[in-house]
Chain A
Amino acid sequence: MSLAPATAGWTWRKPSVIPGFGLTLGFTLVYLTLIILIPLSALIWRSAALGWSDFFAIATSGRTLNALKISFGTAFAAAAVNVVFGTVVAWVLVRYKFPGRRVVDALVDLPFALPTAVAGIALTTLYAPKGWLGAPLAWLGVKVAYTPLGIVIALIFVGLPFVVRTVQPVMEEIDREVEEAAATLGANRFQTIAQVLLPGLAPAIITGFALAFARGVGEYGSVIFIAGNLPNVSEIAPLLIIIRLEEYDYPAATAIAAIMLVISFAMLLVINLLQSWSRRRYG
Chain B
Amino acid sequence: MVDIVTHAPRATLTAASKANRKPLVSATSESRPWRYLLLAISFAFLGVFLVLPLVLVFMEAFRKGVEPFLETITEPDTVSAIRLTLTVAVIAVPLNLVFGIAAAWAIAKYEFKGKAFLTTLIDLPFSVSPVISGLVYVLLFGSSSLLGPFLKSYGIEVLFAVPGIVLATIFVTFPFVARELIPLMQEQGTGDEEAAISLGASGWQAFWYVTLPNIRWGLLYGVLLCNARAFGEFGAVSVVSGHIRGQTNTMPLHVEILYNEYNAVGAFAVASLLAGLALVTLVLKTLLEIRYGDELAGSRGH
Q: Is the CB of B50 within 8 A of A107?
A: yes
A106 to B285, CA, bound (A): 8
CB neighbours of B301 from chain A (8 A): 161-162, 165-166, 168-169
B154 at the interface (CB under 8 A from A): no
Q: Is the CB of A114 within 8 A of B106?
A: no
Q: Is the CB of B29 within 8 A of A95?
A: yes
How many chain A residues sit at the interface, stated as a range, is 35 or more
- State the Cβ distance, A254 to closest chain B Cβ, in Å: 7
The residue of chain A having its C-beta at the shortest distance from the C-beta of B252 within the complex is: A117
Q: Is the CB of A126 within 8 A of B109?
A: no
Given contacts A43-B135, A89-B45, contact A126 B52 (CB under 8 A): yes
A194 at the interface (CB under 8 A from B): no
Q: Is the CB of B197 within 8 A of A18?
A: yes
A112-156 CB mask vs B (1 if < 8 Å, else 0) is 111111110111011000001100000000000000000001001
Q: Is the CB of B132 within 8 A of A28?
A: no
A238 at the interface (CB under 8 A from B): yes
In the complex, which residues 251-270 of chain A have their Cβ closer than 8 Å to any Cβ of chain B? 253-254, 257, 260-261, 264-265, 268
Binds B, one of A33-41, A53-61, A274-282: A33-41
Q: Is the CB of B174 within 8 A of A121?
A: no
A111 at the interface (CB under 8 A from B): yes
A238 to B128, CA, bound (A): 11
B38-53 CB mask vs A (1 if < 8 Å, else 0) is 1101110110111111
CB neighbours of B144 from chain A (8 A): 250
Q: Is the CB of A43 within 8 A of B136?
A: yes
Q: Is the CB of B203 within 8 A of A18?
A: yes
CB neighbours of A21 from chain B (8 A): 106, 109-110, 112
Given contacts A18-B197, A96-B5, A241-B132, contact A220 B27 (CB under 8 A): no
**Residue in contact with B131 in the complex, picked from A20, A117, A238, CB distance below 8 Å:** A238
A97 to B39, CA, bound (A): 10
B246 at the interface (CB under 8 A from A): no
How many chain B residues sit at the interface, stated as a range, is 35 or more
Contact residues of B: prevailing secondary structure: helix
The residue of chain A having its C-beta at the shortest distance from the C-beta of B302 within the complex is: A112
**Residue in contact with A38 in the complex, picked from B27, B140, B228, CB distance below 8 Å:** B140
Binds A, one of B15-23, B66-74, B212-220, B233-241: B233-241
Given contacts A121-B271, A250-B139, A260-B129, contact A98 B1 (CB under 8 A): yes
Q: Is the CB of A118 within 8 A of B275?
A: yes
Q: Is the CB of A35 within 8 A of B124?
A: no
- State the Cβ distance, A36 to closest chain B Cβ, in Å: 6
CB neighbours of B114 from chain A (8 A): 12
Q: Is the CB of B136 within 8 A of A115?
A: no
B122 at the interface (CB under 8 A from A): yes
CB neighbours of A1 from chain B (8 A): 189-191, 194
CB neighbours of B290 from chain A (8 A): 102
- State the Cβ distance, B53 to closest chain A Cβ, in Å: 4
A268 to B123, CA, bound (A): 13
In the complex, which residues 203-262 of chain A have their Cβ closer than 8 Å to any Cβ of chain B? 214, 217-221, 225, 238-239, 241-242, 245, 250, 253-254, 257, 260-261
Q: Is the CB of A110 within 8 A of B232?
A: no
Q: Is the CB of A268 within 8 A of B113?
A: no
In the complex, which residues 260-285 of chain B have their Cβ closer than 8 Å to any Cβ of chain A? 264, 267-268, 271, 274-275, 278-279, 281-283, 285
**Residue in contact with B127 in the complex, picked from A43, A180, A264, CB distance below 8 Å:** A264
Q: Is the CB of A118 within 8 A of B139?
A: no
Q: Is the CB of B48 within 8 A of A265?
A: no
- State the Cβ distance, A130 to closest chain B Cβ, in Å: 12
A168 to B267, CA, bound (A): 35
B54 at the interface (CB under 8 A from A): yes
B62 at the interface (CB under 8 A from A): no
A16 to B198, CA, bound (A): 12
A114 to B56, CA, bound (A): 13
Given contacts A36-B121, A165-B301, contact A122 B56 (CB under 8 A): yes
Residues of B bordering A, CB below 8 Å: 1-5, 7, 27-31, 34-35, 38-39, 41-43, 45-46, 48-54, 56-57, 60, 95, 98-99, 102-103, 105-106, 109-114, 118, 121-122, 124-125, 127-132, 135-140, 142, 144-145, 167, 170-171, 174, 189-191, 193-194, 197-198, 202-203, 206-207, 225, 228, 231-235, 238-239, 251-253, 255-256, 259, 264, 267-268, 271, 274-275, 278-279, 281-283, 285-286, 290, 300-302
11 residue pairs A–B, Cβ–Cβ below 8 Å: A28-B99, A39-B171, A85-B45, A89-B45, A96-B5, A113-B282, A118-B274, A133-B48, A161-B302, A242-B239, A254-B139
Contacts beyond the supplied A110-B54, A161-B301: 9 A-B pairs with Cβ under 8 Å: A18-B197, A107-B50, A109-B285, A114-B275, A161-B302, A220-B130, A239-B131, A260-B132, A264-B128
